[in-house]
Amino acid sequence: MLHLSNEIVEVHSKFKRNFASRFLRQLIVGIIKNIMRKKVDFLVIGSGIAGLCFALKAANFGKVCMVTKAKIDDTSTKYAQGGIAAVMYSPDTYEKHIQDTMVAGDELSDRHIVEITIRESTERVLELVEWGVDFDKTQSGKFALAKEGGHSEFRVLHHKDITGFEIEEKLILAAQRNPNIEILDNHLAVEIITQHHLGIEVNRHMSGITCYGAYIYNPKTKEVDTILSKITMMATGGIGTVYGNTTNPTVATGDGIAMVYRAKGAVRGMEFVQFHPTSLYNPSERPSFLITEAMRGAGAILKNKNGEEFMRKYDSRGSLAPRDIVARAIDNEMKTKGIDHVYLDTTLIKKEEMFQHFPNIYAKCLSIGIDPTKEMIPVVPAAHYSCGGIQVDEWGRSTITNLYASGECSSTGLHGANRLASNSLLEALVFSHRACLNAVEAIKNIDFCDQVPDWNTEGTVLNEEMVLITQSMKEVQTIMASYVGIVRSNLRLQRAFDRLEILYRETEDLYKKSILIPEICELRNVINVGYLIIRNAMERKESRGLHYSLDYPEHRDVNPTREDKL
């Protein structure tokens, strides 16, 4: 008996010793990991114009870590052609640009935000020039200004037809030279960290949800790292990949919007997807090559194959009507005539202007056997820009504390139901600047949250079936293009919703079981974004701006009710 109880005592104390040493080991590992964890003042997610501008400014006030999921210049910014709208000289005025923006937004733009953006446009553009961006000038040394759809004046600053390339290149150079900015390329942000990760229940209606940083996929270790930050800037760009036919690069999978939505932050206006009227009709090419609207500003006209102008039937402004009207008119021409594309007659542009202003488009067309000085270019609408996104205020603050958003992933209220051409680079500049002004004050009262646990990999195995992910991505794109395109209806939206729900369930199941890889994160995000577009489209019982429904072809009166707003 005594022998047995001695044994029990011994087992018990051994257990206690083991438990204590295991506990101690875990504690020490935890402390070391915590010390080793990356902690930064500012975490910037995305390296387009929005992320780079914020990083360059924030670096004057603290350490910045910029993560970007592909190569640093793999952004929509790099592809921007037309340019950046700003009020520079008379006869243009802030009032005219404000009015054009309001008209394009189809009564849903937030006037206060429009005023801020336009009135700050000149200063922000000149700052780009200080960073080395070289906008084209006239012989008299003034900035050469172009005109695009919906603009009543010439006000688009540009660098030939590769404005975005010029901006991205100069901003990257400045960021790479800055000792306060660390750039981690090929690092994908998986989720933002909030109280949810501390085991606290978080819901969409509560206030005080706080961002402590983000879980970031590390391509070297193939593990998910924790980066703690005081301030996080979401600058992940657009959503074009949700549709197969898009002008956006493949990185545009709406990650920031999906992450914020999952973290229970507010996202709005997702039904307003802008289709650019004129992408080059070249079915095998992904992403679609853009034929800038500035060509229409320079005299090019949309025509059918018989060389007949058709836009005047739809709008007195003809080929330079706002994009929603032009894209819908082309869609109607294609559907009623059973054709795959229409044409842009660029032979009307003076040769000298073609070579000086549009050398990139000219070269591209020649490379596929079309001489745009002699022949019309075949064009088709393609998904181009998301007017909706993460809801932010006039300082770029999202509804999640310490989380800001800027650029295409955000919804400031500037674009309303439809974006005026060349207003998006401008919006990113203005709101990254304002977010920085606000964040450098806020940061004084923010501490790191040390209780954040590591990414949980329990129970996951390597997914050997990549085909499940690639096929699901194609299915999402087919659903969105077929039922949630330029023209929508109740039946189409319901069908899209039902189909997407199946993909959602299958993908969540796969995600929970699989060791994390970027492709499954992107698929999840694309499904989330598709869901938000469909849901917002179903909620809008009218046609307005970019959202056109066969069941509700009219505008509703705009009342200051929640539903009528974005």
Question: With binding defined as CB under 6 A, does residue 215 bind ligand FAD?
Answer: no
**∠ CA(69), CA(243), CA(280), 5° rounding?**
100
Given 77, 422, 514, 525, the residue binding ligand SIN (CB under 6 A) = 422
Side chain identity at residue 444, one-letter code: K
CB of 54 to ligand FAD, least distance (A): 9
Side chain identity at residue 293, one-letter code: E
Question: With binding defined as CB under 6 A, does residue 76 bind ligand SIN?
Answer: no
Given 46, 48, 51, 82, the residue binding ligand SIN (CB under 6 A) = 82
Name the phi and psi angles at 368, rounded to 5. -110, 20
User: Rule CB under 6 A: which of 60-89 touch ligand FAD?
Assistant: 67-70, 74-77, 79-84
CB of 115 to ligand FAD, least distance (A): 19
CB 74 within 8 A of CB 283: no
> Smallest Cα–Cα separation from 160: which of 408, 17, 355?
355
Question: With binding defined as CB under 6 A, does residue 120 bind ligand SIN?
Answer: no
- Among residues 227 and 320, whose Cβ is nearest to ligand SIN? 320
- Among residues 295 and 330, whose Cβ is nearest to ligand FAD? 295
- Report d(CA 194, CA 214) in Å as an integer: 9
> Smallest Cα–Cα separation from 125: which of 89, 98, 95, 149?
89
Contacted entry of ligand FAD, ligand SIN, none for residue 45, CB cut-off 5 to 8 Å set by kind:
ligand FAD
- Report d(CA 273, CA 485) in Å as an integer: 8
The rounded Cα 73 to chain-centroid distance in angstroms is 15
Distances (CA, A) of 507 to 413, 472, 524: 32, 8, 7
Tokens coding 546 = 């970019």
CB of 94 to ligand FAD, least distance (A): 18
Given 195, 253, 292, 528, the residue binding ligand SIN (CB under 6 A) = 292
Longest dimension (CA), the chain: 107
User: Rule CB under 6 A: which of 386-425 touch ligand FAD?
Assistant: 407-409, 422-425
DSSP string computed for 93-127: -HHHHHHHHHHHTTT-S-HHHHHHHHHTHHHHHHH
24, 26, 32, 37: CA torsion to nearest 10: -150
> DSSP label at 300?
-
CB 330 within 8 A of CB 309: no
CB 472 within 8 A of CB 505: no
CB of 488 to ligand FAD, least distance (A): 22
Contacted entry of ligand FAD, ligand SIN, none for residue 416, CB cut-off 5 to 8 Å set by kind:
none
CB of 286 to ligand SIN, least distance (A): 18
- Contact partners, residue 409, CB within 8 Å, separation at least 6: 46, 50, 234, 235, 236, 237, 238, 254, 256, 257, 386, 389, 390
- Among residues 150 and 265, whose Cβ is nearest to ligand SIN? 150
Nearest residue to ligand SIN, scored by beta-carbon proximity: 82
- Among residues 195 and 274, whose Cβ is nearest to ligand SIN? 274
Side chain identity at residue 214, one-letter code: A
Active site residues per annotation: 323
Question: With binding defined as CB under 6 A, does residue 47 bind ligand FAD?
Answer: yes
Given 44, 49, 145, 420, the residue binding ligand FAD (CB under 6 A) = 49
Rg (CA), the chain: 26
Contacted entry of ligand SIN, ligand FAD, none for residue 412, CB cut-off 5 to 8 Å set by kind:
none
Question: With binding defined as CB under 6 A, does residue 171 bind ligand FAD?
Answer: no
- Contact partners, residue 57, CB within 8 Å, separation at least 6: 432, 433, 436
**3-class DSSP assignment, residue 342:** strand
User: Rule CB under 6 A: which of 250-269 touch ligand FAD?
Assistant: 251-252, 255
Q: Which residues pair with residue 42 across a beta bridge? A: 64, 231
Question: With binding defined as CB under 6 A, does residue 327 bind ligand SIN?
Answer: no
Question: With binding defined as CB under 6 A, does residue 381 bind ligand SIN?
Answer: no
Question: With binding defined as CB under 6 A, does residue 81 bind ligand SIN?
Answer: yes
Given 259, 342, 421, 426, the residue binding ligand SIN (CB under 6 A) = 421
Contacted entry of ligand SIN, ligand FAD, none for residue 48, CB cut-off 5 to 8 Å set by kind:
ligand FAD
Site string for ligand FAD, 228-247 (x = CB under 6 A): -------xxxx--------x
- Report d(CA 165, CA 302) in Å as an integer: 27
Stretch touching ligand SIN by CB under 6 A, among 194-202, 280-288, 290-298, 311-319? 290-298
- Site residues (CB under 6 A) for ligand FAD? 45-51, 67-70, 74-77, 79-84, 163-164, 188-189, 235-238, 247-248, 251-252, 255, 290, 385, 407-409, 422-425, 428
- Site residues (CB under 6 A) for ligand SIN? 81-82, 292-294, 385, 421-422, 424
